[in-house]
Structure 1
Amino acid sequence: MTDFDQFENEEDIPKSKTQIKREVEALQDLGKTLLGLSKNQLKKVTMSDTLREAFAEADRIKQREAMRRHLQYIGKIMRTEDHETISQQVALFDTTSAAYNKLFHQLEHKRDALIGENSKEELSKYLDEHPNLEEIQLLRQLIRQSQKEVENGNKSNTNRKKLFKLIREIEETKLGLRG
């Protein structure tokens, strides 16, 4: 009989010091990543006021050792936060992440579907998915103008880019990444 046979679930097994240290370092790394975000992006991330104040304080710290200690403090605060949600939100800002690329491709597909042959059906579905959408008139206008660009073989994709930007703003608002 081993020491681990006394535990019914895997979750009951106590963590080793190494595992705890890895988790703490991962939270500190997430804190470093958050520090690298712009102020605008940082505002969009869901976090407590305590953590938000810690990031505001970090802007004033210039000394290397003081910053290292402050990152440890941020890591300590992060233990009480929903760090999985924070990680997911940060991944949507990182252009090299799989989450960002997946969202980008979904938005491109949605734009192309709205411009395509079944645009009325797609628009109807899109409006059902977003019942509180205020920019319906602008959305319809950009769809019509984008369809004209495609029909005329116009090489300037100005309206398609504007449509993509609008769809992205709508989705980011839906995901809570915009204020």
Structure 2
Amino acid sequence: MPQDSPRELLAQITLSDDEPVSKSQLKREMHALQALGEAIIAMTPGERARFPLSDDMLAAVEETSRIRSHEGRRRHMQYVGKVMRREDLEAIKAVYDELEKETLRRDHAFHRLESWRDRLLDEGDEALEAFIDDYPDVDRQTLRQLIRNAQRERERDKPPASARKLFKLIRDTAGM
């Protein structure tokens, strides 16, 4: 069975009880709820704590870590799917959307920092002045030294230890 993202799993589940649903659709929803439960179980405890989960679901999540046998885990995941039917799926979707937005923001910020590092190594003094204009509190001497060392490492095809240190300095300066 291909791994769907929680967003795709939530899209498979019909949230309205107005229209009749086929047996096949019910089965797809059951599998989607089970997979959504597995995705929630796989999250870090901090992420999981943000979801509005019932006590039954929290107990099922906790129980999962104690199950070792394959067949026992399979049956337990069916139980998790059954418990997920009683959860507030709209609230779970809202929390998941917020987590997804935070991840996107973090990824964009990370890419901006990487582009600063690349600019500092490729463009030299021009990029250095632009970086100092944006972040005047940066330790300029350390920044220049790391840029020189990273450029030397790149020329000599050595491991990018100074480039990593440069990235760490940029990240710390940007407050991330």
Count residues in correspondence. 129
Q: Which residue of 2 aligns with 1:107?
A: 109
Match of 2:169 among 159, 162, 167: 159
- Partners of 1:100 and 1:70 lie apart in 2 by 31
- Partners of 1:11 and 1:43 lie apart in 2 by 29
Aligned pairs (5 A) from 1:13-28: 13-28=19-34
CA 1:161–1:77: 2 relative to 1, 3 Å = same
- Partners of 1:83 and 1:147 lie apart in 2 by 49
Determine if contact 1:145/1:159 at 8 Å carries over to the other structure.
Answer: no
Question: Per-residue displacement from partner, 1:118-143 (whole Å, max 9, x unpaired)?
Answer: 85xxxxxxxxxxxxxxxxxxxxxxx5
User: What is the identity, as a one-letter code, of the residue corresponding to 1:12?
Assistant: D
Residue 103 of structure 1: CA displacement? 2.7
SS at match of 2:67: coil
CA 1:85–1:148: 2 relative to 1, 3 Å = farther
For the aligned residue pairs, the C-alpha RMSD in angstroms reads 4.1
SS at match of 1:81: coil
- Partners of 1:28 and 1:15 lie apart in 2 by 18
Aligned pairs (5 A) from 1:117-136: 119=134
Which residues of structure 1 form unaligned runs of 5+?
1-9, 120-142, 168-179
Q: Which residue of 2 aligns with 1:57?
A: 63
What's the TM-score, normalizing by structure 2? 0.52
User: What is the identity, as a one-letter code, of the residue corresponding to 1:30?
Assistant: L
Identity %: 26
Aligned pairs (5 A) from 1:1-179: 12-83=18-89, 86=92, 102-108=104-110, 119=134, 143-146=135-138, 148=140, 152=144, 154-155=146-147, 156-162=166-172, 167=176
SS at match of 2:21: coil
Larger Rg: 2
